Amino acid sequence: MTPRTTGTTGRGQAPCHHGEILQGVFRDGAGRPCPGLVTLPMAGPGSSAVFTIRPGTDPQALTVAPAARTKAARAAALAVAECARRSGLPPSGGELRLAGDIPVGLGMGSSTSDVIAAVRAVADAYGVRLPTGAVARIAVRAELACDPLMLDGRPVLFAQREGRVLEVLGAALPPLLVVGCDLGGGAPVDTLALPVREAGEADVRAWERLRALLRRAVAAQDARLLGAVATASARRGQRVLGHPEFEALAAVARRVGAVGVQIAHSGAVAGVLFDAARAAAPGLPYQVRGCLDALDAHGIPAARVFATPGVRVRAYTPISPSHPAEELLWTSTSRSR
């Protein structure tokens, strides 16, 4: 790609996710235990960034708005150095502006989305196309651990503290419809305040078994097996998170015929998972409506309804948008038309 002239403006975007399907400690290619995760992709909310190069200024003279987005500012500075090296242009300071609609502190990857959008904006301004591995390394340096949002939704087991893929699980997840909610009233979770639980050999073996099952679920496009893996991972996560609503959430999922539940292992977001394969589709609107009502009865109001990439969500529009719970589904499906 031909480098641009300094003084130009670049733009970048990044999606969010809806917590994890699986998170734990796994063996890498060398047999070394390594923290890893598989996220649940979510279309819709995201971060966007605009970066304007200020020619001749010190590379550290970089401003960001809003000013509190310090991780994105660090990522932009690192990206400037990397992109200047690749393009042959001198590194310069600049102005980074961020916008987005991802809820903060729920475990939906808001900070990683900001970081990746910022890196992509800097690369665009310098006329450089950074490979995903380089974006991941910058993201880890900027925020110590990152989500695999730079991979644009592919199901991978990702080492979040090292910014590398441990395993590509397949081309796509099984088709799912997700009823999402925010546990604990949606209060942000301070992940640094969570207790640290060291993983023993038995823990690693258990996570490796779940990894093998998830690999099989993706290969067979088996939503029920994926749901079982996600539920088992979520239950193990309760040893640290201890959500008081978790058992009620799991009971609702069983009662309405869902395939399982998933949670953000570093936040409050959770989801009830439904098989959205064609064979399951005819009764799905009624299952979802029952789920929304059951969650509401337990004081866990739904916050969003969405599908995994490739699912034709409009097929699940309910009979009438008059009921508040149905209106949530109606609004969600309408966006995908």
What's the confidence (pLDDT) of residue 323?
45
3-state secondary structure 214-275: HHHHHHHCCHHHHHHHHHHHHHHHHHHHCCCCHHHHHHHHHHCCCCEEEECCCCCEEEEEEE
Closest CA relative to residue 96, chosen from 61, 54, 51: 51
Give ranges for CATH 3.30.70.890 in the chain.
171-334
What's the confidence (pLDDT) of residue 313?
55
Per-residue pLDDT of the chain (337 residues; tens, 9 = 90+): 444 544 589 999 999 999 999 999 999 999 999 999 999 999 878 999 999 999 989 998 999 999 999 999 999 999 999 999 999 999 999 999 999 989 888 899 999 999 999 999 999 999 999 999 999 999 999 999 999 999 977 899 999 999 999 999 999 999 999 999 999 877 666 665 666 667 889 999 999 999 999 999 999 999 999 999 999 999 999 888 888 999 999 999 999 999 999 999 888 899 999 999 855 567 888 899 999 999 999 999 899 998 988 776 544 444 344 444 444 454 444 333 3
Question: Using an 8 Å Cβ cutoff, are 195 and 240 in contact?
Answer: yes
β pairing state of 9-27 and 302-307 = unpaired
What's the confidence (pLDDT) of residue 57?
93
Give ranges for CATH 3.30.230.10 in the chain.
9-166
Integer angstrom CA distances of residue 81 from 93, 261, 336: 10, 42, 39
CATH 3.40.50.150 fits 171-334, yes or no: no
Is 184 exposed, middle or buried, given 0-12, 13-18 or 19+ CB atoms closer than 10 A?
middle
What's the confidence (pLDDT) of residue 281?
62
β pairing state of 62-65 and 33-54 = unpaired
What's the confidence (pLDDT) of residue 185?
76
Q: Provide the whole-model pTM.
A: 0.88
CATH number for the domain whose boundaries are 9-166: 3.30.230.10
What's the confidence (pLDDT) of residue 191?
62
What's the confidence (pLDDT) of residue 190?
64
Integer angstrom CA distances of residue 243 from 156, 180, 236, 246, 268: 26, 15, 12, 5, 8
